[in-house]
Structure 1
Amino acid sequence: MLGSGKWRHLLGAMATTLTMSATAAFAWPDGPVNYIIPFNAGGESDITARYQQPFFKKTTGQDLIVQYLPGAGGAQAWSGLNGYNGDGMTIMGTNLPHIVLQPMLQDPGYQTGDITNVYMFHFTPDALLVQKDSPFQSVQDVIDAATQNPGAVIAGGTGTNSANHVANQVFSNETGVQTTYIPYSGTGATESGLLGGEVDVLWGYTTVAARQADAVRMLAVATEERHPLFPDVPTFKELGIDMVGGAYRGIAVPSSTPEELRQQLSNTIGQINADPEFRKRMENDGYAVIDVPYAEMDAFMADRQAAYESVAEQLKSQN
């Protein structure tokens, strides 16, 4: 039997070990973290990463360095994700439905299962937008024009097999009309395309309407209920069009990243999402904050994959 002095020594050693383990567990990050965005600057992925920067610093004490690696609708970056060091110092933005549909419909250089998502932190609802002086005053005007001249209405959106591309296809399925879809390299580029008159309508998001203000008009939004920022804009469902959808955005790490680091990053993003100031900024700009942590990711991804399979074959025929 150990004496009281030895017990105190043993308990002290155990406490020291636990303290050291806890310290090691929360030592990440030990320097600036590189945050790779797979698109050009100016889109939602970039904007929300910029929003996260000061809160990441506040939460961890370290800088979040945003970098851009655009190309192939995000596939250029995602196909190289697992080539980075899994030390937690390089993270990458991910998008749905992109990372599900791209491997379903082509060979983008990666499979959905290759992407280790650790958190999904926001959702942007699909919206149909036009220039402020567009002759299209309603969704019905767009339907009428596309019915009279199939393919004549030019619809812009982010790259093929993106949330915008899905929205265009679902709209076609629901209304029976045919538009010509023009893919752009990112949301920022689509906005320039709409404002520059390159397209007749834009499949964008509520965030585009919030950002562009009086320069654009939103004809309808793909939510269950009207968006609080746009109480005068009808939902597609109100118009008899069964459309509820948009883009989900999150953060992934290289597959070599240890489970402990995956969980720590998930916890950090969760803390940022919970910050009232961060949430207010996101919601005021048209984003919907969601919380899908690492522990719930497998179930979430399985649900999303099943949802996208219904339009995958139709999109495949267009590639």
Structure 2
Amino acid sequence: MHNHATRINLGFTLLAGLFAATAATTALADYPEKSITIVVPFSAGGPSDKIARDVAEALREPMGQPIVIENRLGAGGTIGTARVARAKNDGYTLLVHHIGLATAHSLYKDPGYQIEDLEFLGLINEAPSTLISKPALAANDFAQLKKYIAEKDSAINLANAGVGSASHLCSLMLQSALNSKMTFVPYKGTAPAMTDLMGGQIDIMCEQATNSIPQIESKKVKVYGVSSMKRMGIPALTAVPTLDEAGLSGFNFSVWHGLYAPKGTPRPIVEKINAALRVALKNPELIKRQEALGISIVNDDRLSSEGHKKFFDKEAARWSGVIKSAGIQPE
């Protein structure tokens, strides 16, 4: 009798296991069955938010579901990232983050997550920055600006949009390349910094082309160079030299964005999202919008999960060196 009961229980256990496995496989095959949330760890209307919304729009068709954007800002992007790192790994909560993800562990003692808590889904784009100044600055090209910085040094105010922001990272590279000690002035975002730069309260800023093109076009700021190794194809910037050709040999800085999921997201779901991302990044409307902002869409091996991770590790190592040599202690 006892053996018979054991056999029945064993049979039920095997059946339950089989049903669970079948249900899991069906869930994977049916993914996605509902809307997907992309968390942006920065404010609505900012460059990362604009990019995430454009990508979400282009992802909607290949994913076959609506994509909802959730802005979870604060602490240099770490709050939103930690939210995704702790989310259920079922493919319904994703993250769009920029270069700041590669610097977070060098800038913060405890950002609230580990890089190992995330799955890499593919790199999205790269955006160069522009070196700009207040309109009245007494320098009309990069050679004059370099001389001006050497003379004034710490008397020059260099604005940034907060610790870990793209403008902060670009400023660190600029300080290092010029061997200068300009005074960093952090703001709570790009908009107030740009307002003070146009108003002449701040001297210089190294800001994403996405944010500075309108001000450059309307001559509300002066521009001295772009941070990529190639000149930009946008009408307002075609005549602007790269900082590399202007005299800062090898200067190469771009803000990139990637797509991430919580660790342990099943491989078939990771592959499904990656395949959809590849389709989305070929969307002509998305390409047109990004190029108008001076942003190039990634179209190489960094589009794969493995290529994205490899690139990320190189960037994290590079920035760890830049941040240490600047004498910045993690907060």
With the length of structure 1 as denominator, give the TM-score of the two structures. 0.84
State the partner residue of 1:231.
238
CA contact (8 A) 1:211 1:285 kept: no
Within-5 A mapping of 1:54-203: 54-96=57-99, 98-107=100-109, 108-132=111-135, 134-203=137-206
Q: CA deviation at 1:234?
A: 0.8
Structure 1 range deviating more: 108-117 or 190-199: 190-199
State the partner residue of 2:20.
none
- Which consecutive unaligned segments of at least 5 residues does structure 2 have? 1-22
- Note if 1:294 corresponds to 2:294: no
- Note if 1:306 corresponds to 2:308: no
Deviations 1:189-221 (A, max 9, x none): 543443354422221122223344313342200
- Partner SS for 1:149: helix
The 3 A distance-change label for structure 1 pair 61 and 317 is closer
The 3 A distance-change label for structure 1 pair 132 and 53 is farther
Query: What one-letter code is carried by the residue in structure 2 that aligns with 1:163?
Result: A
The 3 A distance-change label for structure 1 pair 137 and 276 is same
Q: What is the aligned length?
A: 299
Deviations 1:9-61 (A, max 9, x none): xxxxxxxxxxx999865533222211111111222111111212332223233
Task: Measure the CA separation in 1 of the matches of 2:179 and 2:287.
Answer: 38
Structure 1 range deviating more: 161-170 or 246-255: 161-170
CA contact (8 A) 2:166 2:208 kept: no
Task: Measure the CA separation in 1 of the matches of 2:309 and 2:137.
Answer: 43
The 3 A distance-change label for structure 1 pair 132 and 268 is farther
State the partner residue of 1:10.
none
* Cα RMSD after superposing both structures: 2.5
CA contact (8 A) 1:131 1:216 kept: yes
Query: What one-letter code is carried by the residue in structure 2 that aligns with 1:146?
Result: I
Task: Measure the CA separation in 2 of the matches of 1:273 and 1:26.
Answer: 23
The 3 A distance-change label for structure 1 pair 270 and 184 is farther
- Partner SS for 1:150: helix
Query: What one-letter code is carried by the residue in structure 2 that aligns with 1:220?
Result: G
The 3 A distance-change label for structure 1 pair 193 and 92 is farther
Task: Measure the CA separation in 2 of the matches of 1:300 and 1:31.
Answer: 32
Task: Measure the CA separation in 2 of the matches of 1:218 and 1:259.
Answer: 46
Q: Percent identity?
A: 22
2:46 to 26, 43, 47: 43
